[in-house]
């Protein structure tokens, strides 16, 4: 499971579809609808949020909007809540790690998407998150 902190605009088609499916799975886990993945480290930051289901809903809404911008049809009725404006902190070290990880994936999978990644300047991040200074997050499996 990979729930990216960088904005979904950087993902290729395969990555965006995978993100949608994995974030929907995260929603199921957080709502207690499945027993698998309950201890997945990617969910720690959502569990720390005062309203975890609203946080994952806000995340999903942005992924769905990105899909819509690309002409894809992701079913927004699968999102259980409206979302939240309360943002989750993410470290600049985590963002750098994710960008490097994504770059490696796109080098193999989609060179055109790789060319769209920012080079030298900070990337846009998912609007649920706010960047703070720090190393790679402790929940990240490096």
Q: Is 125 within a domain?
A: yes
Mean pLDDT of all residues in 25-30: 95
The C-alpha atoms of residue 113 and residue 37 are separated, in whole angstroms, by 29
pLDDT in the model for residue 3: 95
Q: Is 26 within a domain?
A: yes
Q: Is 141 within a domain?
A: no
**pLDDT, tens digit (0-9, with 9 covering 90-100), for 34-91:** 887 888 888 999 999 999 999 999 999 999 999 999 999 999 999 998 888 889 999 9
Domains in the chain, number: 1
> What tokens were used for 120?
């030298």
The enclosing H or E element of 131 equals strand 129-132
Q: Is 98 within a domain?
A: yes
Longest dimension (CA), the chain: 42
pLDDT in the model for residue 20: 98
The C-alpha atoms of residue 90 and residue 67 are separated, in whole angstroms, by 23
Q: Whole domain around residue 12: which residue ranges?
A: 8-132
Mean pLDDT of all residues in 4-8: 97
Q: Is 139 within a domain?
A: no
Q: Is 140 within a domain?
A: no
Q: Is 23 within a domain?
A: yes
Residues 52-80: b if buried by 16+ CB within 10 A, e if exposed: bbbbbbbbbbbbbebbeeeeeebeeeebb
Task: For the chain, give the mean pLDDT.
Answer: 94
Q: Is 138 within a domain?
A: no
pLDDT in the model for residue 81: 84
Name 20's Cβ contacts closer than 8 Å, sequence gap at least 6: 60, 63, 64, 67, 74
Is the per-residue pLDDT at 123 higher than 80? yes
């Amino acid at each position: 499971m990979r729930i990216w902190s960088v904005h979904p605009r950087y993902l290729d088609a395969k990555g965006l579809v995978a993100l949608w499916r994995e974030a929907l799975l995260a929603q199921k886990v957080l709502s207690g609808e499945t027993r698998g993945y309950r201890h997945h480290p990617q969910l720690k930051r959502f569990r720390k949020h005062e309203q975890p289901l609203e946080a994952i809903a806000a995340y999903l809404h942005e992924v769905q909007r990105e899909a819509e911008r690309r002409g894809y049809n992701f079913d927004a009725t699968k999102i259980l809540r409206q979302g939240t404006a309360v943002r989750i902190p993410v470290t600049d070290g985590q963002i750098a790690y994710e960008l490097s990880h994504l770059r490696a994936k796109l080098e193999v999978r989609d060179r055109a998407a790789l060319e769209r990644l920012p080079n030298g300047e900070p990337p846009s991040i998912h609007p649920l998150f706010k960047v703070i200074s720090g190393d790679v997050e402790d929940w990240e499996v490096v």
